Amino acid sequence: MPTVQVGDLKDGDFLVDVREDDEWRAGHAAGALHIPISEFLARYGELTEAAPQDARVHVICRSGARSAQVTQYLAQQGLDAVNVHGGMQIWEAQGRPVVTDGGEPGFVL
């Protein structure tokens, strides 16, 4: 499973958050694309439209388990996809910004 650490992510990296709606509303990484794992197959086209040409897709969830499943699927589709190890829990623990849709400070649910 291709994996990266939260600390390896740079501003501007393409990030897909596969957590569910309630988790997303509580807080997420600014600029991430939200496609819940429960809707991922039906909404796959949104990812391919939003992803920059030939860009690596960084997949994140709360802890890394759901994002690992999505990363595996994307790799099978031929995309350069990597799982973000430790997910949003590590993101928040490392002091990276977690925001709500309104831009206010959020938290990881």
Q: Which residues, listed in sequence order, are joined to residue 85 by a DSSP beta bridge?
A: 5
- Using the 8-state DSSP alphabet, how is residue 56 labeled? P
Q: Which of 61, 82, 84, 108 does the annotation list as catalytic?
A: 61
DSSP the chain: --EEEGGG--TT-EEEE-S-HHHHHH-B-TT-EE--GGGTTTTHHHHHHHSPTTPPEEEE-SSSHHHHHHHHHHHHTT--EEEEETHHHHHHHTT---B-TTSSB----
Known catalytic residue at 48: no
Residues that are catalytic: 61
